[in-house]
Structures are given as C-alpha cells and as structure tokens.
Amino acid sequence: MRKVFGIIMAIMLLLPFGKVYSKEKSVRESNTLRLMSYNIRNGQGMDLVTDLQRIVDVIDKACPDVVAVQELDSVTKRSEGKDVLKDLASKTLMHYIYAPAIDFGGGKYGIGVLSKEKPLGYRYYPLPGKEEARVLLVVEFEKYMYASTHLSLREESRMKSFEIIKKVAEASNKPFFLAGDFNAVPESPFMKQIEDHFVVLTKPYAATYPADKPDRVIDYIVGYNRDAALFARYHSFVWEEPLASDHRPIIADVILAHPSKELFRMKPYLQNPRGNGMTVMWQTTVPAYGWVEYGTDPNNLQKVRVLVDGQALCNDIQHKVRLENLEPGQTYYYRVCSQEIILYKAYVKQFGEVVKSDLYSFTMPDKENTDFTAIVFNDLHKRTATLKALFDQVKDLSIDFAVFNGDCIDDPANHEQATNFLRDMNEVVGASQIPVFYMRGNHEIRHAYSIGLRNLLEYVGNNTYSAFNWGDTRIVMLDCGEDKPDSHPNYYGLNDFSELRNEQVDFLKKELSSKAFKKATKRVLIHHIPIYGIDTDYNPCLELWNPLLGKAPFDICLNAHTHKFAHHPKATVGNNFPVVIGGGPEMDKATIMILQKKGKEMTLRVLNSEGRELLNLKL
C-alpha cells in the first residue's frame, strides 16, 4: 500500500496545474523518471548486520524507476553463495543487470542496475583504479541510458575514468544519466570536470556518507549536458536511511522531453470566421507554449500569441489563437508553433525544441463574394469509416466550410476519446484550410467529458446557438438540448435545458428582426433535433419556437437526430419552410448534405455513402 501511495504522490507532484486530461497525464507520466543510486555495502548496515530486506524496504518505499547499485557480491563466500543483485531484483520485482569489477571470495564483486522497465541492452567498460579495478555499467532503455559506477578512491584514477565516461556519454544517442559512488567531494578536481560536461541532478550540499551521521557528499546522479534540453530535474533529495548501509541512497526526479516529432497531437483547425477574424486551434501531446505565425506573404509571417493579464497563455495541451483584423476575401498563410515546457516553476522554467507545423492557407469570407459550397455531416457517432465514405462523395468539390450538425463526438467519456474523433473529422474535411462549425447534438451533452468539449471547440459567439453571414446568406444555428425532460432520471438533476431553450426565444426575436437577417438574400436554419416532422411525445422546442419560426422566412432547415433521411416540403408538417433531415450513422443510412449558393440560386443536394443522390432541391 505504501508503494502504491508513493507512486501516486510522485505522479501528482509532476503534473502541471491547469487543464490536465487523461491522455496528457499518461504521456507526461511516461516521460517522468525517478532515478536512484545506492551504495548498499552488500547489505551490511551500520550495525554490521547484513540484512538485504532493509535495502529492499528502502527501494520499495522510494518507488524508483531505475537504481544504480554499488558494492554487490555475486556468489561469494561472504554472501553465502547468493547472487545479491538477483536476490534484490526478485524481492523488488525489478529487472537486473550486473557488471563485475573484480574476482572476490570465489565469485565476483561489482555494481549493477535494477529497473522497472526491461532493458534493451547493456555494456560495461573497465575503469582504472590503483587500489582495485573499477567498472562502468551502461544500460539502455527505450528513452534513455542509465550508467552505474563506483569510482576509485584516488583522484588520478578518477580523472582517467572521466575521459572514458565522457566518450561513452558522447556516443550515446539518448539522454545519458550517470549515477553512483564517485568517491569525490564537490570541491574536487574530478567534480569540477564533471560539472563542465554534466548537469548535477542531486544536491551537492546534501551529505550522503556515513549513513548514520553524514558529513560529506560522495554519491551523485548527473546528466550529460549535451542533452540538457532533453530533460529537466524536477526534484532531488537524499533518502533518510541511517542504518541499512554505510551510504544513504540518493534520488533525482527528472522529466524527459517529449520527442519533437511527436509534439503535435493534431493538425491545426480553423473556426469562427466572423468579424474579420479567424480562430486557430491545435493540440500538443504535452504542455507547451504555443503561437501562430501568419501573413499574406508566406515568406514574411508575423507572430501572434495569447496574453492574459500580461502573461503568455501556456503550459497546456490545448492551444487557441484568434487572428484579428483580417481582410475580407484575402488569402492568408499560417503555421502553428509549439515549444514543450518541460519544467514550469516559479523561478525556473525549462523548454524543449520549437516545433513548427506545415504551412497552411485559408481565405477569409467576403460579403461581396456571395457564392459558396458547404458540406454538412450529422450523427456520425464516432464512426470514422462512415465519415470517410461520405467525404469521398464530395472530395472533388471546392469546399468553403463544413458543418458537423451534432451527435458526431458521441458520448465523450474523456479527452482522449473526444480528441481522437475530432482529429479524424478535421483531417478528413481539411479543417487546417477551411473553417468548421461544430454543433452540439444530444449525444455531445452526455458522459463525463461533455462539458470539456468547450476546451476543444469554439462556438460562434461563445454560445451553442448563434448566427453568422457567409456572403449574403444568413445562417442561424440553434441548440435544442437533450431529447428527454430535465427531470429524467438519467440526468440526475444536472440539466436545465429549459432555461437554454428560453434563452433562444429571446435570441430568435432579436435575430429575426435584425438588419443582417432582413438584408440576407438566403436564410438557412440548422439545428440537430427536428421540431417539425419528428415522431415524439417530447418536443418542447416546437411549443417555444414555433410562434417565431412559423412566420420566419427561412429557405431551408437542416436537421438530424432521427437517423432516417427525410424531406418535408414547406407546409407539410406544420413547417413554414422545407425541412431536410439527415440519416446515419450506419453506412447504408448515412448521408451528406451539400449546400451551394451560386449567384441568386441556392441548392441543397443530399448524397448517401455510395454517392447516390437522394435529393436535389432548388431553394
């Protein structure tokens, strides 16, 4: 139980504050290491009693990922024929690698490494020592190298050993950490050499020897400084254990930089092209500092970042930058840039490499250009195959924007799940170069991450209902909320969509009387749950909104939810305008809508996943 608690506490200390989600947590956790070094004197304590269980207890309580162990017997008379490191590994449930330094007592005497992760390989190198031969053990893991050593008592031999160690570190292609009993105090020439080429990760003033009353530092964990941008020390300390050995164990918690090629979790996606602005969003796998470089000339881009009360908005995995004062009809080039924040403390911050995306472009909508082509998906319910099959039917079109009309990110349980399908939607429609409108259906409202979708999406006007112009076409989007009463037991008293629907009564009154609505030559209404032509006993939006919509001059209403394609011409189901309901999500029921405006004419086409035209409506 103590070991589990220790692991949990170590993870909690390493997690950044702010919006932290399940996927980010696992990535950051996998890049976090607890390094340990322990000269165990073969299990002989300060009381001269040999008791390996005391060493095991220290390791279990410390919960290290890897341990450099010194002064180890292997099948010697002194150890009564035991392989001490193997015994420790068995009791701590860790992998082990042993490196003998000398023959001793009918067996070997040397050093070793214990690790939770199975090593990929290892090598050991002889080191000089006039009083006895020494050795350097280097163990390779997936993301780093860990070396254990026990250096000579003589400075001359240590200095010669340094040259060998440095060459080995230089040849490594991963972050390289060295740990052990250096037999050198911080002021020694050897440690001055170490500091010129390595970052000392443990505290040079925290004494490690002798264990009962330590008065000097001779045990260290260091990282090769060529890799200093690839790791950061989060915390280090000497473990308080005065009895189990004549040395105290040392620990360094480090965070490895995430591989730069894996920093972007998804490509950038465009949203909310209103008011001469465009929102660019993207996501990284680990907390980062992000900004956008953009301009009309791809060779002359300006940098834009987000400042909040004088501080750069950073150290999160979700990034959003609003580009303002853009010219209508102008094409802009942009790329997103991110730099991992490996460490974020009050007075110390450490960054990884700057990673830049590909260069993308988008064209701002222009009220003078009234033509457009939009595509509308609905009820995909996280089915990527259906999404791709539908898009295949329109991939040759020049698309100006896309709409996902609800129940696409189906019942989002967590950030990872929501992000995975959002990434699929964005990449399929090319959201890095055309803006996308994400509307909420009743299934986006359900499950643990439903409210968290606001971190991934930017709703127009910051509401799930809104209106905007594309050219001379007015598009009004509504949100019906859930398809059952707020009192339904499935909602546990957490919903109040009655208030949301009433808000939209006021919104519709203002919108229908607005200049933008009245001046529009075409008017499109979109919402997920139909209020006309739906067979249900619960239809609160019909009662609330019909007094307004029953007289509103919309040219078309696009709906979803029923999973059955339907077309209700004007005045056939109490509707004052044509109503088209999309199908899906099964491949044989799925549909895609193509809304096109050319000159004064607007058409709506509906295709199935095989490209068969189900409807061609002139509006």
In a domain, residue 221? The reply is: yes
Same domain, 335 and 392: no
Tokens, residue 410 = 């189906």
Q: Of 214, 237, 256, which marks where a domain is finished?
A: 256
Contact (CB, 8 A) for 342 and 234: no
Residue 367: pLDDT band (50, 70, 90) is: confident
The better pLDDT of the pair 113, 368 is held by 113
Strands (E), 228-310: 231-238, 250-256, 264-271, 278-297, 300-304, 307-308
Q: Report whether 437 contacts 460 (CB < 8 A).
A: yes
pLDDT interval class at 361 (50, 70, 90): very high
381 in the same domain as 316: no
Q: What is the arithmetic mean of pLDDT over 201-221? A: 96
CATH number at residue 356: 2.60.40.10
Number of domains in the chain: 3
Mean pLDDT, all residues of the chain: 93
The pLDDT-based confidence of 275 (bands split at 50, 70, 90) is confident
39 & 150 share domain: yes
| 25 domain residue, yes or no | no
Q: Domain check: are 377 and 348 in the same one?
A: no
Pick from 331, 363, 395: which residue ends a domain?
A: 363
The CATH number covering residue 404 comes to 3.60.21.10
Same domain, 270 and 251: no
Residue 33: predicted pLDDT: 96
Token pair recorded at residue 318: 């979700």
pLDDT band for position 21 (cuts 50, 70, 90): very low
- Please report the DSSP string for 63-110 in residue order: --SEEEEEEEEES-TTTTT-BHHHHHHHHHT-EEEEEEEEEETTEEEE
Q: How far apart are the two ends of the chain, measured CA to CA in Å?
A: 68
Residue 368's pLDDT is 87
pLDDT given at position 16: 39
Q: Are residue 176 and residue 311 in the same domain, yes or no?
A: no
Residues 307 and 185 in one domain: no
**495 within some domain:** yes
Determine, yes or no, domain membership for 400: yes
Residues in the chain: 619
Residue 423 and residue 515 in one domain: yes
pLDDT at 229: 74
Mean pLDDT of the 208-237 span? 91
How would you classify residue 381: left for phi > 0, otherwise alpha for psi between -120 and 50, otherwise beta? left
List the domain range (segments joined by +) for residue 342: 264-363
**For 470-491, how does the pLDDT look when each residue is reduced to its tens digit (9 = 90+)?**
999 999 999 999 999 999 999 9
Q: Please compute the mean of the pLDDT values over residues 360-369 and round it to a whole number.
A: 93
228 pLDDT above the threshold of 70: no
Domain end position, chosen among 329, 363, 397: 363
What is the mean pLDDT of the segment spanning 454-468? 94
Alpha carbon distance 451, 6 (integer Å): 32
Structure tokens at 541: 């939006």
Residue 13 lies in a domain: no
Q: Are residues 431 and 528 in the same domain?
A: yes
With respect to residue 56, please indicate whether it lies within any of the assigned structural domains: yes
Residue 355 lies in a domain: yes
258 DSSP 8-state letter: P
Structural tokens at position 370: 């009234």
> How confident is the model at residue 159, as a pLDDT?
97
331 strand-pairing partners: 363
User: What confidence tier does 227 reach under pLDDT thresholds 50, 70, 90?
Assistant: low
pLDDT band at 19 (very low <50, low <70, confident <90, very high): very low
Q: Residue 543: which residues within 8 A CB-CB, separation 6 or more?
A: none
| Mean pLDDT within 344-360 | 94
Tokens 């490996």: give the residue.
342
Which CATH number goes with the domain that contains 181?
Answer: 3.60.10.10
Look at residues 615, 602, 524 and name the one whose alpha carbon lies nearest to residue 565.
615
Whether residues 383 and 285 fall in one domain:
no
State yes or no: cis peptide before 210, omega within 30 of 0.
yes
What confidence tens digit (pLDDT) does each residue in 120-162 have?
999 999 999 988 999 999 999 999 999 999 999 999 999 999 9
Q: How many Å apart are CA 146 and CA 256, to the nearest integer? A: 13
Q: Please tell me the predicted confidence (pLDDT) of residue 26.
A: 60
Judgement on whether residues 415 and 474 belong to the same structural domain of the protein: yes
pTM: 0.86
Binned at pLDDT 50, 70 and 90, residue 30 comes out as confident
Q: Determine, yes or no, domain membership for 20.
A: no
Same domain, 530 and 397: yes
Pairwise CA distance, residues 442 & 506, whole Å: 22
